[in-house]
Every structure is written in C-alpha cells, then in structure tokens.
Amino acid sequence: MSEELLRVEAVSKAFGGVQVLRDVSLSLKGGEVLALVGANGAGKSTLIKVICGAHAADEGAIYIDGQKQSYRTVRDAVAAGVAVAHQHNMTISRLTGAQNIELGREPTRLGLIDKRELRRRAEALWRAFDVNIDIDAECGDLGPGEQKIVDILKALATNPRILILDEPTATLTLGESKRLFAFIDQLRAKNIGVIFISHHLQEVLDHCDSVVVLKDGRLVHQGLVDETLTREDIVQMMIGRSVAREKRASSAVDGETVLAVQNLKVANLHVGRFEANRGEVVGIAGLIGSGQTEFLQCLAGARRPAQTGSVMLFDKTALPRTVGDAVVSGIYSVPADRINTAMFGALTVEENLSSASLAGLSSKGFISSRMARTRAAELISALAIKCAGQGQKVQELSGGNQQKVSFARWLSRPGLSEASLKNQIFLLDNPTEGVDVGAKAEFYDLIGRLAKRGGTVIVTSAEFTELIAICDRIYCISDGTLRDHFPAVEMTEEALLLKTN
C-alpha cells in the first residue's frame, strides 16, 4: 500500500439540531480497501456525502494527497478524484453497458453523439479492468451482479483515485458477490483507494484491508482487518452488545394449507407447485431476478400472472385482483422496492406507521390520534427505529431505518399483541436488505412471532444463510421453475447455491 490518499479530519455535521457526525477522523491509502460499518443511522451515508461533496461539513476538513479540499459540490469532488457507486442500481435498462458507462459524458462530433468514440472509451475501461461482461448488451438483459459492475465502471470512467462503494452487495447472491470482489481486487492492484460500506460483516473480514466502525456519529474504531478481529468484535463495537446467530425455533405449523398454487406463469418464472401452511415460514431461494419478486406481487394483487393455473387461497380459488382485495383477504406485503412503492417520504414516521391500519385506529369514523401515537411508539421501540421523534419525516431517516418503517407499517395492522393471526399471510421480499445486524435479529424475532401466532410468512432473501435461519421450508427456483422444496434444517448455503444455479 502507498502513501495516505485521503484524510478526513475532525468532521462534524448536524441536521436541524441533531448531531449526526461528531469529530470523525480517518485515513485511506492508495490500494487500500477500507470497510465503513455501523448500525442503521450511525452516520455512514452522511460521512460519505461529506467526502463526495454532496454535504458540506459543519466543522473539520477533507484532505486529498495532503491538500485541503474546499469543494462545495459533487462535481468539485469528482474533479478532485472522488467517485461514488450508489447502493441502488443506477443503470438504465434500455441502454447498453457502454452507453451507461459513458452516460452524461458522451463524446460528440459535429453536435451529435460520437457512438464510435463512446464505444472505444467504454471498451478501454472494460479492457483496463478485464471485465467479463458484454458491454454491447442492454443493461436490462444483464444480471444484477453484472449491472453492479457496469455501475462501478461508470464511476471509474471519471478516473477517480478514491472510489466509494455504498452497499454494493446488498442485493447480490454469494456467487455474484464473489465476482464483485474479484473486481475490487483489480481496483486495489491499480492503487485506487476504496471505501466499502456493508452490513455483511463476514465479507468485510474476508475482503477488506481495514475497518472503520461508526457508532452514533462517532468513530469508535479504525484498524487493520487481521486474524485477531472477529465478527463478534465488530458487532460489539457497532451496537454495544452481541447478537446471536442461532436458528429460530421452528414454529408450531399446524399443517393446514392456506395457499396452494399450481402451474402459474409470471415473468420468466413457472411455478410448478407452491404451498404454504398456517403458522409456517416459507422461503423462496433463487438468483435475484428469477421471478420471485413478480410471484409475490401476484400473491399480493399487484400484478396479474401470464397464466394463472389452479389456486387455493383460504376459501377462494383465485388470487386477489388488486392490492386492496389482498389486504381485505388478510394478505400483507412488504415489497422489494418499498422505499419507492410502499412509503410516503414526505409524511412523518407516525403517519407512515398508521397508514396501513387506519380502520383499526378509528373509532366512530374518526382516527384516534392517541391510539396512533401509542401504536407508533410501540413499533419504534420494538424495531429500535432511530428517529428524532414520531414527527420526523421518513425521507430524513437513514436507509435502514426507512426499511424498518416500511416493515413496521404492516405490523401495525395486526398489532404486536398476542391475538391470533390465523388466515393472515405476510409476503416479505428481501426484507432485511440494508438492515444492520442488530435490527436483523429483531426482524427474525418478529417473523418468528408472526408464525407462532398462526400467521403464514412467505419470504425471499438474497442471503441464503438468512433463509436457512428463519424458515421452516425453502422452495428453490432452478431452470426458471419453482417446485422443489426442502426442510430448512437440512439445508446449507452451498446446497442452496447448487440448487438455484
């Protein structure tokens, strides 16, 4: 590793009186892959935004190559050699990989886009990083792991010396993540300094050189990743307690089938046979983009399948036609794209938490604001949602805390009481994406409690270890078909990978 490339010195930042970063200092060398970890709301994204010019620090300074930076915009930071690849896929599906890589920087000739030069530039980058993807294919035809690499190449097209990767593996399966790490090794070899944000602590230990831990806006640790540092050490530093990784006790499945689907077709998926029982947590394992999201959308009334086949859903023989029908039938959904589709960013935490259960919070036609407040307070405490108060706008929360609100919205409907949830189905599409280890444990506990009360939970996850830990049975999607299922206790991550490839 070479000389110090980036130095963050005593940076502090507050929003509206809430201190989010306190006196944070860290250092990054060329060729170093530095992991930035911390619980949801610890201040990781805010720190990144200060480094990449999106926020100005209240106090402190950023140095690159020992030079104090005075940049005020993202463009200034790019000019100084800083680039960011954001967590959510920013590629445009109808453009090719090459067009995405050069998006916003297209070379022109006689006032028109010079397609040949554009292709040449993208290819030069592609060759420099020895990437094994088709840059002439439309991004919509690439897998999520390949799209992530296109996103990173797009950031690299600005020729940065410091590259920030914000949760790049959050939606990738293990195989896709491995490919991404091989790519990160190339960045290291080219002496690029990488800041890597992740909630997957094992990959931090396996692939990063050093780690910085933030807790409540303070830096509590910066050090090398070596054999003496364990996952448990990092968890302790992040949340001040340890989090067990044991399996949840299997729920009291009473065997009564509440949902059975045969021969359904949706997107690129054929559902040969799928069943879910009362009191059961059923997992669906598949590579991202295998059709599991679309299948859950059909069950939630948000999409019509191309072919319905035969259906048994409680006492009906059809799937819900609308989301409203589904909710009336007792089917609640936490969709994958929840931040855009299932939340009201401009409304408060309390309003979002109440929005799925207004009828239950009403008396004589009026919403009881006392009941809404009490219910919201219960949920905020049960899921440890970090917010300045119930009145804070959801768009001001950290990404992980927004996820928690979207999950909790549907929990506010049945409530956290011990009432039976028989004939209620919860559809959770990758529910713990972006959520920290402590909150994950709370989610698993809540999922177990929903099943114990007789509810049926159907869940997908990019993390197969998570499915093994929380499910009773797991269906696997292989060759575009969902049919085979296995008891979770008999599964390993490797076995699931083989069955879904």
Q: Which residue in the set 33, 37, 42, 385 belongs to the binding site for ligand ATP (CB under 6 A)?
A: 42
Closest CB to ligand ATP among 88 and 265?
A: 88
Residue 330 in the binding site for ligand ATP (CB under 6 A): no
What is the three-class DSSP state of 37? strand
Residue 44 in the binding site for ligand ATP (CB under 6 A): yes
Residue 40 in the binding site for ligand ATP (CB under 6 A): yes
- Rounded to the nearest whole angstrom, what is the least distance from the CB of residue 133 to ligand ATP in the complex? 28
- Rounded to the nearest whole angstrom, what is the least distance from the CB of residue 101 to ligand ATP in the complex? 26
Q: Which residue in the set 45, 91, 210, 412 belongs to the binding site for ligand ATP (CB under 6 A)?
A: 45
Closest CB to ligand ATP among 345 and 480?
A: 345
Strand partners, 33: 194
Sheet holding 331-334, edge to edge: 310-313, 257-266, 269-277, 481-487, 473-478, 281-285, 456-460, 425-429, 331-334
Residue 81 in the binding site for ligand ATP (CB under 6 A): no
Bridge-based pairing state of the strands 456-460 and 425-429: parallel
How many other β-carbons are positioned within 10 Å of the β-carbon of residue 2? 10
- Rounded to the nearest whole angstrom, what is the least distance from the CB of residue 78 to ligand ATP in the complex? 21
Residue 177 in the binding site for ligand ATP (CB under 6 A): no
Residue 8 in the binding site for ligand ATP (CB under 6 A): no
Segment interacting with ligand ATP (CB under 6 A) among 37-45, 307-315, 371-379, 467-475? 37-45
Report residue 311: phi and psi, to 5°: -135, 140
Q: Quickly list DSSP for 428-484.
A: EESTTTT--HHHHHHHHHHHHHHHHTT-EEEEE-S-HHHHHHH-SEEEEEETTEEEE
Binding mask 354-393 for ligand ATP (x = CB under 6 A): --------------------------------x-------
- Rounded to the nearest whole angstrom, what is the least distance from the CB of residue 462 to ligand ATP in the complex? 16
By C-alpha distance, which of 360, 331, 335 is closest to 456?
331
By C-alpha distance, which of 18, 51, 336, 70 is closest to 166?
51
How many other β-carbons are positioned within 10 Å of the β-carbon of residue 8? 22
Residue 160 in the binding site for ligand ATP (CB under 6 A): no
Which helix (DSSP H) or strand (DSSP E) does residue 328 occupy?
helix 323-329
Residue 41 in the binding site for ligand ATP (CB under 6 A): yes
Residue 438 in the binding site for ligand ATP (CB under 6 A): no
Closest CB to ligand ATP among 18 and 182?
A: 18
Q: Which residue in the set 91, 99, 398, 424 belongs to the binding site for ligand ATP (CB under 6 A)?
A: 398
Residue 399 in the binding site for ligand ATP (CB under 6 A): yes
How many other β-carbons are positioned within 10 Å of the β-carbon of residue 219? 22
Residue 320 in the binding site for ligand ATP (CB under 6 A): no
Q: Quickly list DSSP for 168-234.
A: TTTT--HHHHHHHHHHHHHHHHTT-EEEEE-S-HHHHHHH-SEEEEEETTEEEEEEE--TT--HHHH
Residue 440 in the binding site for ligand ATP (CB under 6 A): no
Chain residues in the site for ligand ATP (CB under 6 A): 15-16, 18, 20, 38, 40-46, 386, 396-401, 436
